[in-house]
Protein backbone atom coordinates (compact mmCIF):
# COMPACT_ATOMS: atom_id res chain seq x y z
CA UNK A 1 0.00 0.00 0.00
CA UNK A 2 1.43 3.34 -1.03
CA UNK A 3 0.61 6.30 1.21
CA UNK A 4 0.47 9.73 -0.44
CA UNK A 5 3.14 12.01 0.93
CA UNK A 6 2.29 15.61 0.03
CA UNK A 7 5.01 17.76 -1.45
CA UNK A 8 6.43 20.60 0.62
CA UNK A 9 4.59 22.98 -1.71
CA UNK A 10 1.27 21.17 -1.11
CA UNK A 11 1.81 21.41 2.65
CA UNK A 12 2.62 25.11 2.35
CA UNK A 13 -0.50 25.73 0.26
CA UNK A 14 -2.68 24.04 2.91
CA UNK A 15 -1.30 26.13 5.80
CA UNK A 16 -3.62 29.17 5.48
CA UNK A 17 -6.70 26.94 5.58
CA UNK A 18 -5.29 25.01 8.55
CA UNK A 19 -4.64 28.32 10.27
CA UNK A 20 -8.26 29.39 9.68
CA UNK A 21 -9.52 26.36 11.61
CA UNK A 22 -7.11 27.10 14.50
CA UNK A 23 -4.49 24.43 13.80
CA UNK A 24 -1.35 25.45 15.66
CA UNK A 25 0.87 22.37 15.09
CA UNK A 26 1.41 20.13 12.07
CA UNK A 27 3.11 16.73 12.27
CA UNK A 28 5.35 15.66 9.38
CA UNK A 29 5.55 11.90 8.95
CA UNK A 30 9.08 10.80 7.98
CA UNK A 31 10.16 14.10 6.41
CA UNK A 32 13.77 13.02 5.86
CA UNK A 33 15.72 11.46 3.03
CA UNK A 34 15.24 7.68 3.02
CA UNK A 35 17.44 4.71 2.21
CA UNK A 36 16.44 2.25 -0.51
CA UNK A 37 13.72 -0.19 0.59
CA UNK A 38 14.54 -3.80 1.44
CA UNK A 39 12.36 -6.85 1.89
CA UNK A 40 14.75 -8.87 4.06
CA UNK A 41 17.10 -8.19 6.95
CA UNK A 42 19.77 -10.40 8.52
CA UNK A 43 19.28 -11.58 12.10
CA UNK A 44 21.78 -13.62 14.07
CA UNK A 45 20.79 -16.81 15.88
CA UNK A 46 22.48 -19.82 17.44
CA UNK A 47 22.35 -21.37 13.93
CA UNK A 48 24.10 -18.34 12.40
CA UNK A 49 22.76 -15.67 10.04
CA UNK A 50 19.09 -15.93 9.07
CA UNK A 51 17.24 -13.83 6.48
CA UNK A 52 14.07 -12.36 8.01
CA UNK A 53 11.31 -11.10 5.68
CA UNK A 54 10.02 -7.60 6.38
CA UNK A 55 6.98 -5.97 4.79
CA UNK A 56 7.50 -2.26 5.41
CA UNK A 57 10.15 -0.15 7.02
CA UNK A 58 10.71 3.60 7.40
CA UNK A 59 14.45 3.81 6.87
CA UNK A 60 16.02 7.20 7.42
CA UNK A 61 19.17 7.73 5.38
CA UNK A 62 19.82 11.23 6.66
CA UNK A 63 17.76 12.90 9.39
CA UNK A 64 19.23 16.28 8.41
CA UNK A 65 18.06 16.30 4.77
CA UNK A 66 14.39 16.64 3.79
CA UNK A 67 12.84 14.00 1.57
CA UNK A 68 13.87 15.03 -1.97
CA UNK A 69 10.85 13.16 -3.40
CA UNK A 70 8.65 15.78 -1.73
CA UNK A 71 10.56 18.80 -3.04
CA UNK A 72 13.77 20.74 -2.61
CA UNK A 73 15.36 21.79 0.66
CA UNK A 74 14.53 25.39 -0.29
CA UNK A 75 10.82 24.46 -0.60
CA UNK A 76 10.98 22.63 2.72
CA UNK A 77 12.49 25.64 4.50
CA UNK A 78 9.97 28.00 2.85
CA UNK A 79 7.11 25.79 4.06
CA UNK A 80 8.45 25.93 7.62
CA UNK A 81 8.90 29.71 7.42
CA UNK A 82 5.32 30.08 6.17
CA UNK A 83 4.01 27.86 8.96
CA UNK A 84 5.88 29.85 11.59
CA UNK A 85 4.62 33.15 10.13
CA UNK A 86 1.08 31.84 10.71
CA UNK A 87 1.87 30.77 14.26
CA UNK A 88 1.93 27.07 13.31
CA UNK A 89 4.65 24.87 14.78
CA UNK A 90 6.15 22.10 12.65
CA UNK A 91 6.79 18.79 14.43
CA UNK A 92 8.84 16.30 12.38
CA UNK A 93 8.79 12.60 13.19
CA UNK A 94 12.03 11.14 14.51
CA UNK A 95 11.72 7.45 13.66
CA UNK A 96 14.42 5.42 15.38
CA UNK A 97 12.44 2.27 16.08
CA UNK A 98 14.56 0.15 13.77
CA UNK A 99 17.79 0.37 11.88
CA UNK A 100 19.01 -1.68 8.93
CA UNK A 101 21.98 -1.54 6.55
CA UNK A 102 21.91 1.64 4.48
CA UNK A 103 20.05 3.84 6.94
CA UNK A 104 21.45 6.66 9.06
CA UNK A 105 21.84 4.93 12.42
CA UNK A 106 23.25 1.69 11.00
CA UNK A 107 25.82 3.52 8.89
CA UNK A 108 26.66 6.55 11.06
CA UNK A 109 26.13 5.27 14.63
CA UNK A 110 26.35 1.46 14.80
CA UNK A 111 27.28 1.81 18.48
CA UNK A 112 23.66 2.88 19.14
CA UNK A 113 22.29 -0.48 17.98
CA UNK A 114 21.41 -3.07 20.60
CA UNK A 115 23.72 -6.08 20.32
CA UNK A 116 22.45 -9.65 20.62
CA UNK A 117 24.07 -12.37 22.71
CA UNK A 118 25.99 -13.22 19.52
CA UNK A 119 27.68 -9.79 19.39
CA UNK A 120 25.77 -8.73 16.27
CA UNK A 121 22.83 -6.35 15.82
CA UNK A 122 19.72 -7.72 17.58
CA UNK A 123 17.12 -7.46 14.80
CA UNK A 124 18.80 -4.06 14.35
CA UNK A 125 16.88 -2.18 17.03
CA UNK A 126 18.62 0.93 18.36
Distance CA 58, CA 2 (A): 13
DSSP element (H, E) containing 4:
none
Domain range annotation of the chain: 8-112
* Angstrom distance (rounded) from CA 51 to CA 44: 9
HEC profile of 53-115:
ECCCCCCEEEEEEECHHHCCHHHHHHHHHHHHHCCCEEEECCCCCCCCCCCHHHHHCHHHCCE
Residue-wise pLDDT tens digits, 71-126: 999 999 999 999 999 999 999 887 666 677 777 777 888 888 888 788 877 765 54
> pTM value?
0.69
10-51 pLDDT per residue, tens: 999 999 999 999 999 999 887 877 766 677 777 777 788 888
Q: Reply yes or no on whether the pLDDT at 3 is more than 80.
A: no
What class does CATH assign to 8-112? Answer: alpha beta
Amino acid sequence: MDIHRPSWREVEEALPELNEISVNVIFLWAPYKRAEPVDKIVVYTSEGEVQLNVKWWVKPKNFLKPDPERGSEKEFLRMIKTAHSLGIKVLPQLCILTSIPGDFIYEEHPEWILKSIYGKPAVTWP
